[in-house]
Amino acid sequence: MQLNVFEREIQKTKVFSNHWQFTDDPKLVSFRELVPEILSTTYLTHSIYYYPAKFIPQVVRFCINEYTQKNDWIIDPFAGSGTVGLEAIISGRNAILTDLNFLLNHIIPIKIPTQKEKLTTTKLKKRLDYIFEYKSSFTPNWSNLNYWYPIAILEVLQKLWAGQKSFEQDLYAQIIQSILIKVSKQFSYAEHKAPKLFISKTKREYIENLLKRDWQSELKNIVYESSFETLITVNQFINTNIDKQNQVKFYGGVDSSTFQHPDDLETSCMLTSPPYLQAQEYIRTFKLDLFWLGYDENQVKALSKLEIPYRKATRWIETETLNKVRIGLEREDLKEMLNSYFCHTINALENASKNLKAGGKACIFVGNPKVDGIEVETWKVLLEYFTDKNFNLNAIFEDQIKTRQLFKARKNKNPDGMKSEFLLVIEKR
């Protein structure tokens, strides 16, 4: 029956914000043009922590402006780097963020600090001076650590991290932590210009040449300069947010499909960008970061097993579009991956929408990847599934990708990447 429901829903014409009108085709837009007040995707504290495939703030701000009111609660079950949380706070809304990655618990306190007192360069410099004189060492609980570092660099990093961990973990310590995350990747054999954790020939040569120079001074300069730059960014956020009393509740290291929220808060909007199909190695990407932050191998392995779609499907998701893709795939492993992806993605979306009020919007930003040459229209699968449950179609937007950063040296089954991303907006009945 899904096809009949789908046909009935998409052929409805809806008026959106008194000027957008929708039929069965996605509306071609540019979110960067629709939200011109955001000049850069890295403004304020958005760029403090690196995160692959970030949710661009223009899409988030657009949804917040169109579908929520001041002091509303917004939920994001795939919070990533916390873009939804930051945009919610700036816009006078509240947010609930969940994510499988523990890193969320370290990103949010510095990306969305709650303190109102501005930081000083004098206090930060004292902390930096202290860690560069620190004598003890911190050793991450990871058996492969030596594989990723030359001994000389590793010994220096261990002392810096030990010094950072000796502080009260206030905003100054969190600034230093964010910078040590960056330099611990940059000064390792790991390729720091690509989203996955691996060693490239180019990066190995880079480290070998680095060791022939005064790398200690280079490291120190980067840490000091980057820390002071981050302090300025954090102070800008504090100044922007000084009169706001809104909240961000965040829970990293949790399975969003089963997580039980401690508060029974009614939400007005679910706003999220799920991981893309075949782009699921977020925990592997952040292994170095997580071990330096103090997590152990058992914790990281447990998280990795929960990544979509590297876990078995617990139920069968069926829609017209998804069934067509399944029929076209010959390889059983790809069918299993497809089943797992939609099972656990939809589980998380349904769990997050439990407290969504009637008339509340679910804004889901996705791409259409290819699996073995077959395009998977993710937005259409989600639309078919949720309109057969308790949602109505509100809007579909298509935003064409103008620029894309790809790592050219690696093999890629889809080297040109996706051409567009889609914002599906559905309304809870």
Q: What is the CATH number of the domain that holds 412?
A: 3.40.50.150
What pLDDT is recorded for position 20? 39
| Domain annotation covers residue 56 | yes
Same domain, 89 and 178: no
| Domain annotation covers residue 422 | yes
Helix (H/G/I), strand (E/B), else coil: 173: helix
Picking from 203, 238, 273, the residue at the C-terminal end of a domain is 238
| Domain annotation covers residue 116 | no
d(CA 126, CA 227): 12
Q: Which domain holds residue 136?
A: 121-238
- Residue 327: CB atoms within 10 Å: 10
Same domain, 312 and 413: yes
Element (DSSP H or E) covering residue 297? helix 297-304
Same domain, 253 and 346: yes
Structure token pair of residue 180: 């040590």
State the burial class of residue 162 (Cβ atoms within 10 Å of its Cβ: 0-12, 13-18, 19+): middle
What pLDDT is recorded for position 53? 81
Element (DSSP H or E) covering residue 363? strand 356-367
Same domain, 163 and 63: no
Picking from 201, 222, 238, the residue at the C-terminal end of a domain is 238
Picking from 208, 238, 268, the residue at the C-terminal end of a domain is 238
Is the four-CA dihedral 386, 421, 248, 287 of positive or negative sign? positive
| Domain annotation covers residue 8 | yes
What pLDDT is recorded for position 281? 73
Same domain, 178 and 66: no
| Domain annotation covers residue 139 | yes
For the entire predicted model, the pTM comes to 0.89
Same domain, 233 and 132: yes
| Domain annotation covers residue 110 | no
Same domain, 18 and 90: yes
| Domain annotation covers residue 357 | yes
Pairing of strands 374-375, 370-371: antiparallel
What pLDDT is recorded for position 4? 36
Same domain, 289 and 343: yes
In 79-202, which ranges are E strands?
A: 94-99
Query: Torsions phi, psi of 75, nearest 5?
Result: -120, 140
Q: What is the pLDDT along the chain (429 residues), one digit of tens a residue?
A: 333 333 333 333 333 333 334 446 899 999 999 999 999 999 999 999 988 888 999 999 999 999 999 999 999 999 999 999 999 999 999 999 999 999 999 999 999 999 999 999 999 999 999 999 999 999 999 999 999 999 999 999 999 999 999 999 999 999 999 999 999 999 999 998 777 888 999 999 999 999 999 999 999 999 999 999 999 999 999 999 888 889 999 999 999 999 998 777 899 999 999 998 876 678 888 999 999 999 999 999 999 989 886 789 999 999 999 999 999 999 999 999 999 999 999 999 999 999 999 999 999 999 999 999 999 999 999 999 999 999 999 999 999 876 544 444 444 444 456 688 999 999 999
Same domain, 51 and 30: yes
Domains identified in the chain, total number: 2
Widest CA span in the chain: 69
| Domain annotation covers residue 279 | yes
Same domain, 26 and 96: yes
